[in-house]
Every structure is written in C-alpha cells, then in structure tokens.
C-alpha cells in the first residue's frame, strides 16, 4: 500500500470522503489516541497548558488534549475537509487553515507546548517543482522555535520513509535552535515502530528571539525554592525515564538507524 504523502498532496488526499472515513475508523481513533497520550507522557506537561496541534486533522488528538489536563488548544491543518469534519464534530479547540511548510503563523512566544501526530513527514515530500523539502523543513522549525515560549516543549510523532528523512528532520530542528532528541518506540518491530521528536526551545532567561520583526523580551530568571529540584537534576531524571521507555538519539548525533545508545 502506497504511503499517503506519495499519493497526493494532503489537501487533495484528505478530501471530504477520506476525511470522514479516516475519522470514523475505530482503528485510527485508537492509534491517534495512544500516540497522543504517548507524546504527552514524554512531554510531562503540567495541566492547563496552551497547546498548538500541528496537523490536527479532524481533532482526534485535540480531544485527548482537552481530556488530559484540561488544556486549551489551537489546531492547524492544510486540509479544509479535515477541518470541516472537526467543526461538524464540535471539537473544543480553535481551528486554523494553514500549510506548515510555509511556517507556523503565530506570534512569537504564543504557546506553552506543541504536539504533532503523524504529520511532519509530509514536509519531506515535494508535491511541486517549487516545493523544496529542505526549505520547507527550515521554515517550519524556524517559525516553530519562535512560536513556542522560552522553555516550551514540542513533541512530533512522525513516520519517516528512511534514515535520510529522519536525519533531515533532526538537522532542521537543531539548526533552528532546538535541543532534544528522538525517542523510538518498538524499535525491534518495523511495523509497530514509532518515532517521537522531543524538543525544548531553551530555558527561562535565554536570549531574545526574532521572527519577521517580532521580538520576545528576555524573561526574568525564576528563583528556585530552597531544596527544590534543580534544572540539571530534572533533565537527568527525564533522560533516565526516556531511555527506559524508548531509544533516544540526540540532535547533535548522526542518525544511522542502528541500535545504539546516544547521550541527550
């Protein structure tokens, strides 16, 4: 069976019929829910976050965002039919029609966190001669870095075609300024393997960021209470959890597809 991204552009492939078929499938609902829950588990977000759902489709992942932690969310997708299906289902989030390959069109520092389920692999596909995957990836991650507040987190579950696509995605995220890495669940099973790109935009007190003339002022450092967990200890603890639950490949390491342990 051909991969959807090699069949037609997403706004064409996910027409009215395909959108309703996709959304009504109990199998798809289960898979989307499990991957969204896994992404939230990896992010370890506090409740009541303002979250952007990239490639939100008909709102299946958004429903999980609402149920888990009473989060407020905005969903963006390139398919009008998918968004129309989401409206018919009366999902809780606000919906925005946009192509992620043209960038994330929100004001700098808008979101506490971002998730994307089964979407960013489309950036690696050139639907027209003018669509350069490398440039689309760069625009996406550069604008995403700006849209997330300092210290904000990102989880992108995706299906790469090959190791080259994975390396291109990791390189674009690193070039944009993100830190983080790749968690691979079910690495021993090609059929059930899941890739999660887990990123952070930095820490409180990082340098200003700019996008199209918009500047986010530097935030003041947060003073820790005596005896509170330090940032270094927190990062070490999260690394240990992530290593136990999935293989971690750091952004500053070359992805080869071979089994190995790589430091974050």
pLDDT in tens, 101-136: 999 999 999 999 999 999 999 999 877 767 799 999
| Token output for 97 | 């029609």
d(CA 203, CA 151) in angstroms, rounded, equals: 4
Only one residue has tokens 């240990």, namely 240
> Contact at 8 Å (CB) between 56 and 75?
yes
Residue ranges of domains in the chain, CATH in brackets? 4-250 (3.40.50.150)
In this predicted structure, the answer to whether residue 188 has a pLDDT above a threshold of 90 is: no
- What integer pLDDT is reported at residue 247 of this predicted model? 53
pTM for the model = 0.75
Sign of CA dihedral 152, 257, 254, 211: negative
Q: What is the mean pLDDT of residues 199-209?
A: 56
- Say if residue 65's pLDDT is above 90: yes
Q: Please return the burial class of 226, using the count of CB atoms within 10 Å of its CB with bins 0-12, 13-18 and 19+.
A: exposed
Can you give the length of the chain in residues?
A: 264
DSSP 17-75: HHHHHHHH-HHHHHHHHHHHHHHHHHHTPPSS-EEEEET-TTSHHHHHHHHTT--EEEE
Q: How far apart are the first and last CA of the chain?
A: 35
């Amino acid at each position: 069976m051909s991969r959807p991204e090699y069949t037609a552009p997403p706004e064409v492939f996910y027409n009215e019929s395909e959108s309703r078929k996709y959304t009504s499938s109990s199998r798809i609902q289960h898979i989307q829910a499990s991957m969204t829950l896994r992404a939230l588990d990896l992010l370890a977000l506090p409740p009541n976050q303002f979250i952007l759902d990239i490639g939100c489709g008909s709102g299946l992942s958004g429903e999980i965002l609402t149920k888990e932690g009473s989060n407020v969310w905005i969903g963006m997708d390139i398919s009008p039919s998918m968004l129309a299906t989401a409206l018919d289902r009366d999902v809780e989030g606000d919906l925005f029609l946009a192509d992620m390959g043209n960038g994330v069109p929100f004001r700098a520092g808008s979101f506490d966190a971002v998730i994307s389920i089964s979407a960013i692999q489309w950036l690696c596909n050139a639907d027209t001669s003018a669509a350069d995957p490398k440039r689309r990836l760069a625009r996406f991650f550069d604008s995403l870095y700006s849209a997330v507040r300092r210290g904000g987190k990102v989880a992108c579950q995706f299906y790469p075609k090959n190791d080259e696509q994975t390396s291109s995605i990791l390189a674009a995220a690193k070039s944009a300024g993100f830190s983080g890495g790749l968690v691979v669940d079910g690495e021993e099973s090609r059929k059930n393997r899941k890739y999660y790109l887990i990123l952070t935009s930095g820490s409180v007190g990082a340098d200003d960021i700019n996008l199209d003339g918009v500047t986010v002022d530097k935030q003041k450092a947060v003073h820790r209470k005596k005896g509170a967990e330090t940032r270094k200890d927190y990062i070490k603890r999260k690394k240990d959890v992530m290593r136990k639950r999935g293989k971690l490949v750091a952004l500053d390491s070359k992805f080869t597809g071979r089994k190995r342990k790589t430091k974050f």
